[in-house]
Amino acid sequence: MSGRPASLYFGRCLTLCSRESIMVAFKGIWTQSFWRAVSGEFLATLIFVLLSLGSTINWSEKENPPPADLVLISLCFGLSIATMVQCFGHISGAHINPAVTAAMVCMKKLSLAKSLFYVVAQCLGAVAGAGILYLVTPSDVRGDFGVTMVNSKISVGHGLLVELFITFELVFTVFATCDSKRQDLKGSAALAIGFAVTIGHLFAINYTGASMNPARSFGPAVITWNWVNHWVYWLGPIIGGIIAAAMYEYLYCPDPKMKQRLKEVFSRASYPSGKYMEVEENKSQGEADDLVIKPGSIHVIDVEKEENKEKDPTSEVLSSV
């Protein structure tokens, strides 16, 4: 009987701890500004998918319609995303892409709880945009309705690699153009991101349909219920986005504070905090006294100060082309 109250007490503590951890994880989502941001992600993704997906519709009345205009599609996707970034950047950050959101979470620029709401809003917005386009488009010209599919001439693995690289290029551009540490940024960040999307489409439409965005592929897949190799358009972009963010934040342009913390960690691992000496038992007391470290016999060199004298490589700003 004595064990029963203890188990009940432990269960209550576990319940309270789980509730507290959940409340801490979801701290900040009960604000008006956050829900404004979530609704902004929904609306931005809806408009982006509606406009850009519409460019893939082939309106030719011929029995054998000509191939899609790659330049038209690429420009429509790129300019659409540039416009949405310019319009919603100050409201939600204008991710409009689960791969960008995943990269932000991994770089600790967005909490995991908030990112879940962002991704749900992006996917729902993509479905709504594709649904509206489906309703207003005649059935005889819908075709494959812009569903992203891996070209039959390449393998699924190659398609995954293509999606990884084009999303890497996009996310790296996002982090580079939105880096607050840079002092050389000029021009429009939204336009640079739009150009990154355009370049990715010009290259990869013939390979995979150039998704670069899991939500963009999710919307038409739900409407047409076509899930062939759909996992490629989630796994490839998310992996490519995370790799791009990690390389930018930790390798090419690390934060000075983070670099200092890493330097302290490595310095502690390299230099022992204490001094240990063994004296063989067969040595005399005089020999042992000679082994004792005496005051003033050691000159301490401050490694961090010496290193700080050298030029900090992160202070050099990459020149823009």
Structural domain includes residue 317: no
pLDDT tier at 6 (50, 70, 90 boundaries)? low
* Residue 18 to residues 23, 114, 132, Cα–Cα distance (Å): 9, 18, 41
Question: Do the domain assignments include residue 20?
Answer: no
Report the alpha-carbon distance of residue 182 to residue 253 in Å, rounded: 9
pLDDT of residue 29: 75
pLDDT computed for residue 300 by the predictor: 42
- Confidence at residue 8, expressed as pLDDT on a 0 to 100 scale: 53
Model confidence over 279-309: pLDDT tens digits? Answer: 444 444 444 444 344 444 444 444 344 444 4
Q: Per-residue pLDDT for 160 more than 80?
A: yes
Measured from the Cβ of residue 57, the count of other Cβ atoms closer than 10 Å reads 16
Q: Rounded CA gap, 215 and 206, in Å?
A: 20
Read off the pLDDT of each residue in 128-144 and give the average, rounded to a whole number: 94
- Checking if the pLDDT of 183 tops 70, the result is yes
The whole-number pLDDT of residue 15 equals: 54
| pLDDT band at 247; cut points 50, 70, 90 | very high
Q: What is the pLDDT of residue 60?
A: 79
- The tens digit of pLDDT for each residue in 255-270 reads 777 777 767 777 776 6
User: Looking at residue 275, what is its pLDDT?
Assistant: 45
Cβ proximity of 46 and 129 under 8 Å: yes
pLDDT recorded at residue 308: 47
313 or 321, greater pLDDT: 313
Do residues 313 and 178 make contact, with C-beta atoms less than 8 angstroms apart?
Answer: no
Res. 272: pLDDT tops 80? no
Domain containing 210 — which CATH number?
A: 1.20.1080.10
- Give the pLDDT confidence score for residue 30 in this predicted structure: 76
In a domain, 274, yes or no: no
**Angle ∠(177,165,71) on CA atoms, nearest 5:** 80
Q: According to the model, what pLDDT value does residue 67 have?
A: 78
| pLDDT of 226 | 96
Q: Which pLDDT score is estimated for 311?
A: 44
Q: Please determine, for residue 92, whether its predicted confidence score (pLDDT) is greater than 80.
A: yes
The string of pLDDT tens digits covering residues 23-63 is 555 666 778 899 999 999 999 999 999 999 999 998 877 67
Model pLDDT, residue 301: 43
98: confidence class by pLDDT, cuts 50, 70, 90? very high
Could you tell me if residue 271 is inside a domain?
no
Inside any domain, residue 2: no
Q: Considering the domain boundaries, does residue 143 fall inside one?
A: yes
Give the mean model confidence (pLDDT) for residues 189-211: 97
State the average pLDDT for the chain: 82
Any domain includes 104: yes
Q: Is the pTM of this model over 0.85?
A: no
- Within-domain flag for 159: yes
Q: Does 131 have pLDDT greater than 70? A: yes
Whole domain around residue 149: which residue ranges? 32-56+67-257
- The confidence score (pLDDT) of residue 11 equals 54
pLDDT at 225 over 70: yes
pLDDT computed for residue 306 by the predictor:
46
Q: Number of structural domains, the chain?
A: 1
